[in-house]
Amino acid sequence: MPQDFAEWLRGMLRQRDMSQKDLAGAIDVTPAAVTAWIRGRSEPRYEKIAAIAEALGVAAEDAVSRRQPGAASSELSWIFRKAPADGGREGGNAAAFAFAANLEVLAREATQNSLDERLPGGQPVVSRFVLHELTGQHLEEFLEALRWSEIEKHLHAAADPGQKVGRVLLDGLQELERTRRLVLLRVDDYNATGLTGPDYDDGRFARVVRRTLDSGKAGAQGGSYGLGKAALWAASRFGLVLVNSTLSERQDGRHERRMAGRLELPWHALGTDEFAGPAWFGVKDPDRDDAARSWWGDEETARSLYLERDGSAAGTSFLVVGAYDGSGDTEQLEEMHERLAAGVARNFWASMVGGEAAAPLLRASVASWRNGRVVRAEERIDPHRHEPARSRAVQAFLDRRTVLELTSREDVLEMAVPLKLPRLKDGAGSDRTSPTTHDAVLLITPSGDDEPAADHISYMRATRMVVRSKKVGDLPLGHRNFQAVLLAGAATMKDTPDVEAAERLLRASEPPDHNDWTGTEDLTAMYVRGARQCIVNFKRLAEQSVREALQTQDDGQQGDEGPEVLKELLRLDPPKAPRTQGFPTIHAIEGEVDEHSAWRVTVTVKCPEREDPWVLAPAIRFTGRDGGGIPVRWAGRLVPVKNCELTKEGNLLFRGRRGVFKGVTDVASHPVPAAMSRIEVDVPRAKEAKA
Amino acid sequence: MKTLFPYPVLSGEVVLVADRLVVDNIPRQWKAISEREHVIALHEVKGRWKEIRIKVSVTVDAGELAAGPWSAPTCVAVVRNPRTRIRHTFTLAPAGNGVWEGDVELRRGEQLGACEIDAWVVADVGGESGRLIGTASERWRADFEARTPTQQRSIKMVWKNFTDDIDLTEFRDDPWLLDAQADDPVLYLNSSVEGLRGVLENATTPEQKVVRDVMAAQIASETWASMFNAALYASDMEDGEVQWPGGWHEDVLKRMLPDVFADRSPSEGLAELVERRTEGQSGGDLQRRVMHAATFQSRKPKAVAGALKSLARMASAKESV
């Protein structure tokens, strides 16, 4: 909604620190005329509007459409919050501590936020992670655009090695000085709402850039604790994040390139000036002391800050300056790239699956750059590559291709798992007609033997983010590997009243990390007693359903199979081969057929240790298709090579654990030409007459 | 056993997988197939079935297959039934990327007990066609007697009232009897012996449990010893090479020979035994060794020690009352 002209003009005069009289003089009208405009009693004609714009130093277009003028990069600065008068000192943003600051967590939290802000209309949210390493000239130019010189002294002052945040800062500064290398991580989303709403007060912009621990989310969204955005700041060595947002709804008459920056430092002092910690990057707000507003940027500024977005689709780009993996495992660009891709794939494979009828909820990609050049081209994360069996299950569900009985490897079994819906406290929505159960969808599909986390069940709801993935316990003997997916709430794609109620219940049962459905304070606060038990029963029932689906038929004849106690004692299946054997064995055979069509072999024999040497009579035979074989003779004597010697009778006496001998077969004893044979060598004990 | 070929063969694994089970054109549940155990449980396939089709696929390292010195590789699945001595091969169709797929058919009347499914990769090597360049790293077993697809299986046990049974009435007072004559050994348990079934299957008091454990070990060791003797008589020598008897005889020998002769390989041990038997030795040493192996299989030492311990505990409990 564009403002009326009076309001726009009032705001502009204040911003430009210009009096009505000055304006009247500049555009050659009476002060009374200006007053009339300001009061909204009249509006200037078009030529006057152009003149007003010129006098205010803004584009005529800004005045005509009564929008905020764009800010030149020269107007930007960092503004630090003064320390409170009570002398309180904050050691850093508490929300950021709630995270294990690693890139996988960042990928999870940022993507979750993007999914929550998805625009209605069925288009998938596009989430893109771009790593960009800067050195040399590129680094210098970026730091200049960022006004690094304005914040560097604050960073040094705040880098107190006695505090957790301080140590990270100090480490980051030293690293930057030593390597002159900086990693930027850009997190983009498209087809999302963008940072809408006013600069202060309430709205998406204010919630992300101004506040901590406030999400204002509702309904199906995940981030009910407002922690997700903190993960962005936690991923920066300097607590420094810039944003550029394309808004889905105009704000102050504009929607493109709403930019801002926020720096999260702990309390620090420069000389006698004390600072609370946080600072904002933007245009100094004339209406407020020590506050910076977001600005409407131009393409050049956005480019210099590595924040220019592709195309005009709404959404937000966050730039994490000095991105790092807090776990310390990953330093190199390539590894960070892998880590991000893995983080997105592990948590959002289901969101990225689409079917014939339903588009995926999310498309995600990762790319890596170094000084403006591509290191690893943009790689779309394919859920079917990362999670083949699970993705197949969700796709079959979306395409309505699930079956009631599994008969082949590609099949996906669908079952219903009821979730009892407890009543809300204080009677809210608890009229007689409110639904009492919700049927969640359980999918089971066979998985390959080599899939790393086999036999797991993954819980999810509206956004199909994996809330939890756990191994199903107590599985029947000899079952096949499988993957199970439990789709609850809106993920069931139904639109019955129970869906909304289930979403609300499950959302309330997610702890701050959104990694389980369990008893939470929210659950206790919102629902009558027994709500936790409903959740526990639901999960238990889901696992039980999996077990039942895998159970082989029991035709009630167990009693006819004989006593259990005897079954174990009368097992006929082949015993497991012991690791060490009590008799000499063949360790290796090498050899070939020579020009006389004889086999020439070199055989390594492994002998168990014992005091007496082993006297062995190596035998060679041509083997048949079904085992067994036809013995052939050695031509002449065997040749000891290592740890063995010939006995008088032509056998071999082995000393030590490994012995090697050579031998050639007697062609005359071959039942078929050697080229048509395959051979095995055996080392039975020799029967020698005692000397 | 390590085999040497006179030409290069595949070094990578040849992975054989059963994907789907269809009985008379009706697909059966996938849980009858265990990929981990390499077993297909066919117990529920009873009655008037005509043919069973098992869809299999074979995967080899496509890179190795393409790079090797062989040409025109093909792949067959091989079904062998050791009881009926039937062997069939089924040509599989190449599906690209080192994979072959196709159906294996089991026909009624040709199958008994269990059959084995193997895969052979065959190619032209050095101008010679039809050379075997790889076999399945792990074979599969399609078992008509298995309820669950596991490798674990026990000998058949049947409760019978010996007095009512024409064949068994001669032994009506025996609590148990092994019939090792049949294709499969069957252990008959005499249900006319009062309390036997109760103790073996539903022991509740400590006293009953002591009896059950000792009795079970006793039944098992007798069973193993007589199965071993039957298996030994089923084995033979030919051209100085030992002939494994196959079937359950072979299973029994493979389980027990390592305990009969700890310092010999199973085939060497078997050769020794067959030789002694044919030479007509008295068998004193042999019976001693067999008894030891049967004792080991039946876990008798543990059962006896446990029973004695329980007895001591029961006695001291009585004293303290």
What was the pLDDT predicted at B50?
86
Asked if residue A91 and residue A61 are part of one domain, the reply reads no
Asked if residue A23 and residue A143 are part of one domain, the reply reads no
What is the three-state SS of A424-479?
A: EHHHCCCCCCCCCEEEEEEEEEECCCCCCCCCEEEEECCCCCCCEEEECCCCCCCC
Asked if residue A150 and residue A92 are part of one domain, the reply reads yes
The band of A444, judged by pLDDT with boundaries at 50, 70 and 90, is: very high
Asked if residue A146 and residue A229 are part of one domain, the reply reads yes
The band of A690, judged by pLDDT with boundaries at 50, 70 and 90, is: low
Residue A391 lies in a domain: no
Q: What is the DSSP string of A321-388?
A: EEE--TTSS--SHHHHHHHHHHHHHHHHTTTT---SSS--SEEEEEEEEETTEEEEEEEE--HHHHSH
> Are the C-beta atoms of residues A642 and A682 closer than 8 Å to each other?
no
Cα-Cα-Cα-Cα dihedral sign, residues A31, A36, A39, A40: negative
**Residues from chain B contacting residue A627 (CB–CB below 8 Å):** 244
Domain boundary among A69, A94, A113: A69
Length of chain A: 691
**Residues from chain B contacting residue A684 (CB–CB below 8 Å):** 264-265, 267-268, 271
Residue with tokens 């050695």: A634
CA pair distance A48, A65, nearest whole angstrom: 14
Domain boundary among A280, A308, A324: A324
User: Given A478, A562, A675, which is nearest B6 (Cβ)?
Assistant: A675
Q: Report how far Cα A686 is from the mean position of its chain's Cα atoms.
A: 64
The band of A558, judged by pLDDT with boundaries at 50, 70 and 90, is: very low
User: Given B36, B154, B298, which is nearest A567 (Cβ)?
Assistant: B154
> Are the C-beta atoms of residues B255 and A574 closer than 8 Å to each other?
yes
Number of inter-chain CB pairs under 8 A, A vs B: 197
Is there a contact between B189 and A627 if contact means CB atoms under 8 Å apart?
Answer: no
Asked if residue A195 and residue A101 are part of one domain, the reply reads yes
| Min Cα–Cα distance to chain B from A199, Å | 58
Asked if residue A301 and residue A243 are part of one domain, the reply reads yes
> Are the C-beta atoms of residues A188 and A130 closer than 8 Å to each other?
yes
CA pair distance A71, A12, nearest whole angstrom: 13
Over the stretch A561-614, which tens digit does the pLDDT of each residue have? 778 888 888 888 877 766 667 889 898 899 999 999 999 999 999 998 888 889
Is there a contact between A564 and B187 if contact means CB atoms under 8 Å apart?
Answer: no
User: Which is more confident, A318 or B30?
Assistant: A318
What was the pLDDT predicted at A1?
44
Which residues, numbered 131 to 190 in chain B, qualify as contacts with chain A under a Cβ-Cβ cut-off of 8 Å? Answer: 132, 147-159, 187, 189
Is there a contact between A573 and B152 if contact means CB atoms under 8 Å apart?
Answer: yes
What was the pLDDT predicted at A223?
45
Asked if residue A308 and residue A221 are part of one domain, the reply reads yes
| Min Cα–Cα distance to chain B from A406, Å | 5
| Min Cα–Cα distance to chain B from A594, Å | 10
Residue A108 has pLDDT above 80, yes or no: yes
Residue B41 has pLDDT above 80, yes or no: yes
| Min Cα–Cα distance to chain B from A470, Å | 20
Work out the average pLDDT over A335-364: 90
CA pair distance A137, A320, nearest whole angstrom: 20
Residue A478 has pLDDT above 70, yes or no: no
Which residues, numbered 369 to 388 in chain A, qualify as contacts with chain B under a Cβ-Cβ cut-off of 8 Å? Answer: none
Which residues, numbered 542 to 571 in chain A, qualify as contacts with chain B under a Cβ-Cβ cut-off of 8 Å? Answer: 550-555, 559-571
User: Given B33, B219, B251, which is nearest A566 (Cβ)?
Assistant: B219
**Residues from chain A contacting residue B28 (CB–CB below 8 Å):** 407
Pairing of strands A125-135, A295-296: unpaired
B313–A contact, CB cutoff 8 A: no
B82–A contact, CB cutoff 8 A: no
**Residues from chain B contacting residue A680 (CB–CB below 8 Å):** 1-4
Identify the DSSP state of B32: G
Structure tokens at B281: 């030795």
Please state the domain count of chain A.
4
CA pair distance A77, A150, nearest whole angstrom: 8
A580–B contact, CB cutoff 8 A: no
Structure tokens at A73: 């990069």
Is there a contact between B3 and A578 if contact means CB atoms under 8 Å apart?
Answer: no
Name the phi and psi angles at B284, rounded to 5: -60, -50
Asked if residue A283 and residue A145 are part of one domain, the reply reads yes
Structure tokens at B172: 């009506």
Residue A660 lies in a domain: yes
Residue A80 lies in a domain: no
What was the pLDDT predicted at B321?
60
Work out the average pLDDT over B247-253: 87
> Are the C-beta atoms of residues B52 and B173 closer than 8 Å to each other?
no
Is there a contact between B2 and A626 if contact means CB atoms under 8 Å apart?
Answer: no
CA pair distance A315, A256, nearest whole angstrom: 10
Asked if residue A90 and residue A64 are part of one domain, the reply reads no
**Residues from chain A contacting residue B264 (CB–CB below 8 Å):** 582-583, 684-685
What was the pLDDT predicted at B221?
95
Q: Side chain identity at A124, as an amino acid letter? A: P
Residue A429 has pLDDT above 70, yes or no: no
Is there a contact between A562 and B187 if contact means CB atoms under 8 Å apart?
Answer: yes
Over the stretch B182-222, which tens digit does the pLDDT of each residue have? 567 889 999 999 889 888 988 888 888 999 999 999 999 99
Q: Report how far Cα A176 is from the mean position of its chain's Cα atoms.
A: 27
Pairing of strands A644-646, A413-420: unpaired
Asked if residue A90 and residue A56 are part of one domain, the reply reads no
Residue A64 has pLDDT above 60, yes or no: yes
What was the pLDDT predicted at A219?
45
User: Which residues make beta-bridge pairs with B93?
Assistant: B101
User: Which residues make beta-bridge pairs with A184?
Assistant: A132, A321
Work out the average pLDDT over B26-55: 84
User: Which residues make beta-bridge pairs with A155?
Assistant: none
> Are the C-beta atoms of residues A291 and A285 closer than 8 Å to each other?
yes
Asked if residue A100 and residue A65 are part of one domain, the reply reads no
Instruction: Specify the long-range contacts of residues B30-33, CB closer than 8 Å, at least 24 apart.
Output: B30/A406, B30/A407, B30/A408, B30/A409, B30/A411, B30/A446, B30/A480, B31/A406, B31/A479, B31/A480, B31/A550, B31/A551, B31/A552, B31/B149, B32/A552, B32/B149, B33/A480, B33/B149
Asked if residue A18 and residue A58 are part of one domain, the reply reads yes
Closest residue on chain A to B1 (Cα): A680
Probe site for chain B from A404, A480, A570, A678 (most B CB atoms < 10 A): A570
CA pair distance A385, B320, nearest whole angstrom: 68
User: Given A408, A564, A676, which is nearest B19 (Cβ)?
Assistant: A408
User: Which residues make beta-bridge pairs with B79?
Assistant: B88, B117
Helix (H) or strand (E) holding B93: strand B93-96
CA pair distance A389, A413, nearest whole angstrom: 12
What is the three-state SS of B244-308?
A: CCCHHHHHHHHHHHHHHCCCCCHHHHHHHHHHHHHCCCCCHHHHHHHHHHHHHHCCHHHHHHHHH
Residue A48 lies in a domain: yes
Range of the domain at A283: 86-324
Q: Where in chain B do CATH 2.60.40.10 domains reside?
A: 15-143
Short-list A519, A520, A526, CA closest to A429? A526
CA pair distance B267, B276, nearest whole angstrom: 14
Residue A396 lies in a domain: no
Q: What is the mean pLDDT of chain B?
A: 88
> Are the C-beta atoms of residues A161 and A172 closer than 8 Å to each other?
no
The band of A627, judged by pLDDT with boundaries at 50, 70 and 90, is: low
User: Given B4, B212, B261, which is nearest A591 (Cβ)?
Assistant: B4
Work out the average pLDDT over B155-182: 88
Give domain B15-143's CATH architecture.
Sandwich (2.60)
Structure tokens at A88: 């309180």
User: Which residues make beta-bridge pairs with A128?
Assistant: A188, A365
Q: Report how far Cα A36 is from the mean position of its chain's Cα atoms.
A: 57
Residue A224 has pLDDT above 60, yes or no: no
The band of A438, judged by pLDDT with boundaries at 50, 70 and 90, is: very high
Residue A370 lies in a domain: no
> Are the C-beta atoms of residues A117 and A205 closer than 8 Å to each other?
no
User: Given A480, A564, A680, which is nearest B31 (Cβ)?
Assistant: A480
Pairing of strands B140-143, B39-41: parallel
What was the pLDDT predicted at A552?
59
Domain boundary among A524, A550, A576: A550
If 0-12 CB within 10 Å is exposed, 13-18 middle and 19+ buried, where does residue A314 land? buried
Residue A22 has pLDDT above 60, yes or no: yes
If 0-12 CB within 10 Å is exposed, 13-18 middle and 19+ buried, where does residue B229 land? middle
